[in-house]
Amino acid sequence: MTHSPLMKALVYHGPGEKSWDSVPLPHISKPTDAIVRVVKTTICGTDLHILKGDVPAVTKGRILGHEGIGIIQETGDAVSNFKKGDHVLISCITSCGKCEYCKRQMYAHCEDGGWILGHLIDGTQAEYVRIPHADNSLYHVPPGEDEEALVMLSDILPTGFEIGVLYGTVKPGDIVAIVGAGPVGMAALLTARFFSPSEIIMIDVDESRLSMAKKFGATKTINSACGNVAEIVLAQTKDGVDVAIEAVGMPQTFDICQNIVRPGGHIANIGVHGKSVDFQIQKLWIQNITLTTGLVNTNTTPMLLKTVESKELVPGNLITHRFTFDQFLKAYDVFGNAAAEKALKVIISNT
């Protein structure tokens, strides 16, 4: 009897249950696959949602994680952009590059991909991961780049930028409000600055996150625990904000956005909602507003990589805690108690 070689991975065992297990190594199953040795990964708020049982599509035994940096270990015969030894950024979105949605750069809806890593197939919180459609779903790490900082480009920076800033059509001079100063809200803040808005108002209940937001360029912060946020915003602006970015995913935070958007403005929803919201169409039908939603396509990743190379964007500032792979459960504890631990993004390294 032969034993297949094992690796360590963070495995989901049903709501509230996870462990750092020994599991079989992934292997190439299609010629377009690559096997990547994960060097650095992180934990996303989405992983906490999965652990709560909010994402029933994730089945017991699934390795979590959809972000990371690694080194190509092996490639399938059809992979032409990457070879063994290449350092790569793993996109949270897998895309075939050939289907109707991929042709429109809507990789989130790829007919043979989308968000599958750590969701429908095994993810990056492991020593090795299989990446389908490797040619289109991985990016070369520019030589000499800070690999830890680039982990922020797997998911949160493209998400904040594409679904918050671009869908919200932030323009020079705009007043932008971002509801939620978590990692994705901060990513929206950092990338909104590309367009020189006149104000960026950050709204959250966590004072330490608000003070971080100030350091990242927020012009005003509002602690939503201190009264009626909509009244405060309306009192501090002529008639509200041009762009309200929702980066939490709760009825209350969506409500703030619809109460502060000015006529002609945009509400860009990024938050993952588990419940319906009360959309005030009876007030807003006459206000010429635009409401957008979306899952990240990561089609802006090559552009964001250039802004990191030019130091226009310094994503490493989002990292507050660092762990090694054998401390994976500790990393989850810290990230799961983000407010008490003053955590934003954690990095877990395979040393």
Q: Which is nearer to Zn ion, 66 or 266 (CB)?
A: 66
Q: Which is nearer to Zn ion, 266 or 345 (CB)?
A: 345
* 186 interacts with Zn ion by CB under 5 A: no
End-to-end CA distance of the chain: 32
| Residue 319, strand partner residues | 345
Residue 12-51 contact track with Zn ion, rule CB under 5 A, x = bound = --------------------------------x-x-----
Q: Which residue has 């100030």 as its token pair?
A: 214
Which parts of 123-162 interact with Zn ion (CB under 5 A)?
A: 155
Q: How far is the CB of 156 from Zn ion (least distance, A)?
A: 7
Q: Which is nearer to Zn ion, 102 or 129 (CB)?
A: 102
- Identified binder of Zn ion from the candidate list 102, 149, 165, 338, rule CB under 5 A: 102
Residues contacting 17, CB < 8 A, separation 6+: none
Q: How many CB atoms lie within 10 A of CB 64?
A: 27
Identify which of 147, 116, 152 has the alpha carbon closest to the alpha carbon of residue 33.
Answer: 116
Which parts of 72-101 interact with Zn ion (CB under 5 A)?
A: 96, 99
Distance between CA 128 and CA 90 in Å, rounded?
Answer: 12
DSSP structural state of residue 63 = B
Q: Which residue has 């060097």 as its token pair?
A: 39
Q: How far is the CB of 42 from Zn ion (least distance, A)?
A: 8
Q: How far is the CB of 230 from Zn ion (least distance, A)?
A: 29
Q: How far is the CB of 218 from Zn ion (least distance, A)?
A: 22
Q: Can you give the length of the chain in residues?
A: 351
Distance between CA 292 and CA 14 in Å, rounded?
Answer: 32
Residue type at position 226: C
Stretch that binds Zn ion, among 24-32, 110-118, 144-152, 192-200 (CB under 5 A): 110-118
Which parts of 46-75 interact with Zn ion (CB under 5 A)?
A: 46
- Identified binder of Zn ion from the candidate list 9, 110, 244, 318, rule CB under 5 A: 110
Which parts of 248-307 interact with Zn ion (CB under 5 A)?
A: none
Torsion of CA 90, 91, 96, 97, to 10 degrees: -110
**Residue at shortest CB range from Zn ion:** 44
- The footprint of Zn ion (CB under 5 A) covers 44, 46, 96, 99, 102, 110, 155
